């Protein structure tokens, strides 16, 4: 067995983690959208159906939240029937996405029009205009480590562990290298590319406390990036900032 075991851990970890935080598949803005008259009439006669369907749609995106809150600021009853809103704010606390617990997920839609037919009939959130969408997601270090423990056998790594410090993420664990079990460790940080992708950059990596050459690190990075791709969201979010602080990762679509 070669160094591929060590490489496999990093590849598996980041691919699994990035896919776990992808809430939905992407769609394009519907420039020629026209609300369905029958759906418009249904909402006009029962506006509460919007709240109910929005909640059902979000529960398809995040699983088993400890709590979920949806606040809507309406413009007028007529606009509500057409799926137009001044503001929709969704907040989910301690939700699960592919076995990863997301401490908090806050998504805010500003001046949005939704495809009401898809919302009512399919329980899907599909903006049809170029609205502003702000996102704020937090994943805690302890929950990420629980996730790694769950996946340890699949990625063939013993005692995988993540440690988050200010603007740095450290990965460690052990795996077999030939007939010998080796310990590995890597440190790096994140950057944002094209407003949609999050890339990991390893500044240092060691196997059995021996520093690895840059070309070895480059091989790993080439295979794992991008770590997250928000083009897959069902709504258009531009990632502006990602912060690693003591004990958590925070991803936002707006700078502090």
- pLDDT tens figures, 8-63: 555 555 555 655 555 544 445 677 899 999 999 999 999 999 999 999 988 887 78
Do 171 and 201 reside in the same domain of the chain?
Answer: yes
Do 161 and 248 reside in the same domain of the chain?
Answer: yes
In this structure, what are the phi and psi dihedrals at residue 178, rounded to the nearest 5 degrees? 70, -125
Q: Under a CB-based contact definition with an 8 Å cutoff, are residues 137 and 94 in contact?
A: no
% of the chain at pLDDT higher than 70: 71
Tell me, yes or no, whether 70 lies in a domain: yes
| Count of domains observed in the chain | 2
- Give the closest residue to 251 by CA, choosing from 147, 117, 104, 129: 104
108 C-beta neighbours (distance < 10 Å), count: 18
Tell me, yes or no, whether 14 lies in a domain: yes
For residue range 140-150, list pLDDT tens digits in order.
989 888 887 88
- Which residues touch 31 (CB under 8 Å, ≥6 apart)? none
What pTM, to 2 d.p., does this model score? 0.75
Do 151 and 247 reside in the same domain of the chain?
Answer: yes
Tell me, yes or no, whether 194 lies in a domain: yes
d(CA 165, CA 170): 8
Do 44 and 100 reside in the same domain of the chain?
Answer: yes
Do 120 and 151 reside in the same domain of the chain?
Answer: no
Tell me, yes or no, whether 30 lies in a domain: no
pLDDT of amino acid 246: 78
Exposed/middle/buried for residue 148 (C-beta within 10 Å: 0-12, 13-18, 19+): buried
pLDDT for residue 104 is more than 90? yes
103/207: higher pLDDT = 103
d(CA 132, CA 31): 16
Least trusted range by pLDDT, from 89-93, 160-164, 172-176, 196-200: 196-200
d(CA 88, CA 109): 5
Summarize the confidence of residues 158-182 as an average pLDDT.
78
Tell me, yes or no, whether 135 lies in a domain: no
Look up residue 147 and give its two tokens.
């996730």
Q: Which residues pair with 11 in a beta bridge?
A: none
% of the chain at pLDDT higher than 90: 30
Give Cα 198 distance to the centre of its chain.
10
Place of tokens 């699949």: 154
Do 13 and 71 reside in the same domain of the chain?
Answer: no
Tell me, yes or no, whether 29 lies in a domain: no
222/105: higher pLDDT = 105
Look up residue 196 and give its two tokens.
């949609």
Tell me, yes or no, whether 32 lies in a domain: no
d(CA 5, CA 212): 15
Identify the top-confidence range among 110-114, 225-229, 231-235: 110-114
Question: Which of the listed residues 129, 160, 183 is the one where a domain comes to its end?
Answer: 129
pLDDT for residue 91 is more than 80? yes
Question: Which of the listed residues 79, 107, 129 is the one where a domain comes to its end?
Answer: 129
Range of the domain at 125: 37-129
């Amino acid at each position: 067995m070669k160094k591929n075991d060590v490489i496999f851990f990093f590849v598996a970890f980041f691919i699994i983690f990035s896919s776990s935080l992808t809430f939905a598949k992407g769609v394009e803005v519907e420039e020629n959208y026209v609300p369905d008259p029958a759906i418009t009439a249904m909402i006009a006669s029962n506006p509460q159906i919007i709240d109910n369907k929005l909640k059902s749609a979000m529960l398809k995106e995040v699983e088993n939240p400890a709590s979920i809150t949806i606040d809507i600021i309406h413009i007028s009853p007529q606009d509500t029937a057409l799926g137009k809103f001044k503001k929709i704010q969704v907040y989910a606390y301690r939700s699960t996405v592919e076995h990863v617990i997301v401490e908090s997920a806050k998504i805010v839609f500003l001046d949005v029009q939704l495809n009401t037919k898809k919302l009512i009939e399919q329980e899907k959130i599909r903006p049809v205009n170029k609205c502003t969408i702000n996102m704020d997601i937090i994943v805690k270090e302890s929950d990420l480590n629980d996730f790694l423990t769950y996946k340890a056998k699949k990625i063939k790594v013993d005692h995988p562990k993540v440690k988050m410090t200010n603007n740095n993420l450290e990965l460690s664990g052990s795996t077999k290298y030939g007939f010998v079990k080796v310990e590995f460790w890597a440190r790096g940080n994140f950057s944002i590319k094209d407003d949609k992708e999050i890339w990991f950059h390893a500044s240092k990596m060691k196997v059995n406390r021996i520093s690895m050459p840059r070309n070895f690190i480059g091989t790993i990075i080439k295979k794992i990036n991008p770590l997250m791709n928000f083009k897959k969201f069902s709504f258009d979010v531009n990632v502006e900032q990602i912060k690693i602080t003591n004990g958590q990762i925070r991803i936002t679509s707006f700078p502090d």
